Amino acid sequence: MEKIDADGFQRVRLYDGKREHDIAFRGRKVGSSQKADAWLTPKGTIAIYDHREQELYTYDEYGAFEDDEGIDDRLKADVAEALGANYVEELDI
């Protein structure tokens, strides 16, 4: 595991199946689910690594991340908390 700096960020290294090689970035892990892990980067990007697909997805804005229906509610709630946002689960009833 890489050393965590004073701001809570560390080097994250993952295998990206789409690119077919390892990738790395600096991030602070803010959430985890069975399907994916979430990090915030020093530039404010939300990075989501899908374990099953072995692919990294990035979001420059929380709104785009929140609107992605492929991300489970637990992970959305974790990221919202890390950003100081109030996550509300929308019910289709």
Give pLDDT, residue 89: 83
Could you give the maximum distance between any two Cα atoms of the chain, in Å? Answer: 46
**CATH number reported for the structural domain that contains residue 42 in this entry:** 3.30.720
- C-alpha span between 46 and 40 (Å, rounded): 5
The answer to whether residue 4 is domain-embedded is no
The answer to whether residue 54 is domain-embedded is yes
Give pLDDT, residue 5: 75
The answer to whether residue 88 is domain-embedded is no
- C-alpha span between 47 and 24 (Å, rounded): 11
pTM over 0.85: yes
Q: Which amino acid is at 76?
A: K
- C-alpha span between 60 and 67 (Å, rounded): 13
Give pLDDT, residue 1: 55
Contact 73, 89 (CB under 8 A): yes
The answer to whether residue 34 is domain-embedded is yes
For the chain, 93 residues long, the average pLDDT of each consecutive 10-residue run is: 77 92 95 94 96 95 90 92 88 86
